[in-house]
Structure 1
Amino acid sequence: MKLRQKILLLAVAPLAVAMMGIALAVKFQATALARHERALVESAYLQSKETELRHYVDLARSAIAPMVESGRTDAATRAAAMAALARLDYGPDGYFFLYDLQGRNLMHPRQPELVGQDLWLMRDPEGALTIQKLIAAARAGGGSVRYMWQKPSSQQLAPKLGYVVAVPGWNWMLGTGIYLDDVEQTLRRLDARAETDIRETMAWIGVIAAISILLVAASGLALNISEHREADAKLRQLAQRVVQSQEEERARLSRELHDGISQLLVSVKLVLEAATNRIRTAPSEGAAVAPILGMALNRLDSVFNEVRRVAHNLRPALLDDLGLFAALEHLAREMQAGSTLTVAVTQDGAPRPLGDEQATALFRIAQEALTNVERHAHATHVAVQLEYGASATRLTVRDNGTGFDVARMQHDPLRGIGLRNLRERMAALGGQFDVVSTPAGTRLVAALPLNSRMPELSLS
């Protein structure tokens, strides 16, 4: 997986996980709220129906109260009371029923076939003893009971809420009830509506999550494109600097070859030609030719020295043979040989072997710094310090020159190329590079950590 894909994944994954967590939390809370609302609606509805049924039963009791309180218990009086109760109905499924306290049915307007039957052991489809539950509630002073019973209008079993009381004088249980299938249907519609609302909420969360992820992905893509362009611009700028450095190095080598080695070789050629002509015109004057040949040899020595100097500037052999400190000392001697500048090289700490990349980088920094001091600083003394610390190898170059404006130099595209190249060289090795300059002098510090190495190039 490429780096930009990993970054995009790290940006999108937490957002997706967060949105999923929000969705699950919202679904859980909405489901719990819907259940709570259903329970409240059901409880309130049943409570209102229980109150309504109690009023119906009170009305029925008041209808037969004169007969019950008359003290007569004959069959005719009881039959008249049953007839009065049978006439009290409210709708196709609203009626009153009578049982004695032993479970025998005395009156049932919608199911007359039950009259006279002993239903004490009657059970509903769930196994509950329906009549016993009703009689127990009546004996306890009256109350409501939920049970299953056949609905007259549909001839199907349906849940029912009954309310019963005892008629102590006649050993009766009087009751009525309301069927709850309509209530359950209403509650099912409420549940379905809640599920629909939850699905719509989840769909909205999904849409918001998708839009958010797309926005993050688009932002990441835009940022990636921007960084790509910036990286490409930096690479082009770096390539231009590399080409410029190569051209400058070629121009310097060309000047040194033309002004130094080429001039000396031409001079040697002319001397040798003069010696050849002398020998050709006067073979007997060999002794006169010897000084001319000596001059040619001296100039050839100068050519060899010039070649060694150019080669040393390109890559000093001391750096590979004797190490960085010896190469810095040699560089200081060469710098002092052709100028009035004094260069002091010191070493602190226990020396340790450095990698080729580290040694070369520190040597080039010292070389560039000394060259800049010689050309621009108007200094008389330079101190070069190589320090082997516990965590880093540090090179410090101090001079007593006039200094320069570091910030202005770094932002000037036509100046400070050398300093920028040194800074980039240190950054490539994971090191630090710092320049502090005042009118009293300049201090340059380059530090490489012990584990510094060239970073691997990534094409991601």
Structure 2
Amino acid sequence: MRIKYKMVLLILLPMLVVIGAIAAIVFVQEKQLAAQQTLVLEESLLESKRAEIMDYVSLARTSIDLLYSSGRNDEATKEQVKAILRTMNFGQDGYFFVYDTQGLCLVHPRQTELEGRQMWDKRDPTGFPVIQKLIEAAQQGGGFQRYLWIKPTSGKETDKLAYAVLLDRWGWMMGTGIYLDDVAAAKAKISQESDKRIHGVMRSLAVTAVLAILIVVACAVAVNLSEQRSADAKLTAMARRVVTSQEDERTRIARELHDGISQQLVSTKYQIELAQFQLPESDENRAAQQALEKGLDGLGDTIAEIRRISHDLRSSLLDNLGLPAALGQLANDVAAHTGLEVRVDVSRCQHKLPDTPAITLFRIAQEALTNIVKHAAARQVDLLLSSDRRSVALTITDDGRGFAPEAETYAQSGGIGLRNMRERAELEGGSLHIVSQPGHTVLLATLPLSEAG
């Protein structure tokens, strides 16, 4: 065999092996990423639906509490409660159901033929004992169950998530649920998008392989040295898109929490307060007043928790007033919840920062303060933000116990970790440096600024 053909084979075969390996790695990673995205999306959707269902059940308890807490056990009172629950519908397929603890159906407004029937042995198509498990969850203090049930608008067996509580004085199990066909649709969409990405990557790799073979055979040249730089650029762009997508999703969820659920809860609180005000003062109504007050307290705590979660996901000050104001609010929140003294100095930041470096530094500050609270046993933290036309720097200093920044175990512990904080900074062309010793730890994050910024 001539030497030139040997050279071609020596170049071509490793290249084909590499392309095949890349294709396999991309395929596996895309599948893993799709699976992770599916799990994260499903859990996020289920968590929001759990909270929504619990709110509906809480609202139903509030609606019937005046009658239930009256101490009466007569059939007329029970029929009033049933009538109230039959009229409490939400959405196209939302309703409340009631069974006694022996499985007798008492209220089912969307399948009235079930009322009065013994449903203890009712099982869904998978064999799951629906009513038994709902009663068991209710008897344990309230709980969720997932099963298949007929959806009123479609008439088909559909995945459903339900929450049940026990009205123990009457021996009733009351609950409601939400159908999860939208969750299945979202998972299917992610799977389709993943398949499209994989097919696109495979087509691109196939075209690249054919072109490379033609170039090698025709020109007998060495491997193109620019491939590595191109791959690095693609990975960097992909990482940037992932971070951008995460921030966009945080913003969307934070907005929905604040403008949607929070406002609905506030409106509900006002209605309960109005009902409390209109309830006459008397010994008979004292229990109802106390129940309303307890419900208002719980509702207030829920509203505050939703607002806290919304703020953690995306600080409104960061969007409206910029990074200096957002850091001040973050410091105040940490100080209020932990007792840690957090001092912020933004006097050296005289330039308005672009969104990307502002978000990056804010996330680094969040994670750094979280690590300090969890691990450092510090008493005081100083945040210094400074900038000029070319760069912006965030310095975080604490008087905690210190650590070894190079320790791999610490870098991988909790949150995004030190390694990922460094990657966030480097993704924007910046750097992150840490110097630590007992009683004094300094974290310095520096990012470049464009002249236009």
Tell me which interval the TM-score lies in, with the shorter structure as reference length. 0.3 to 0.5
TM (norm. structure 2) is: 0.48
Larger Rg: 1 or 2?
A: 1
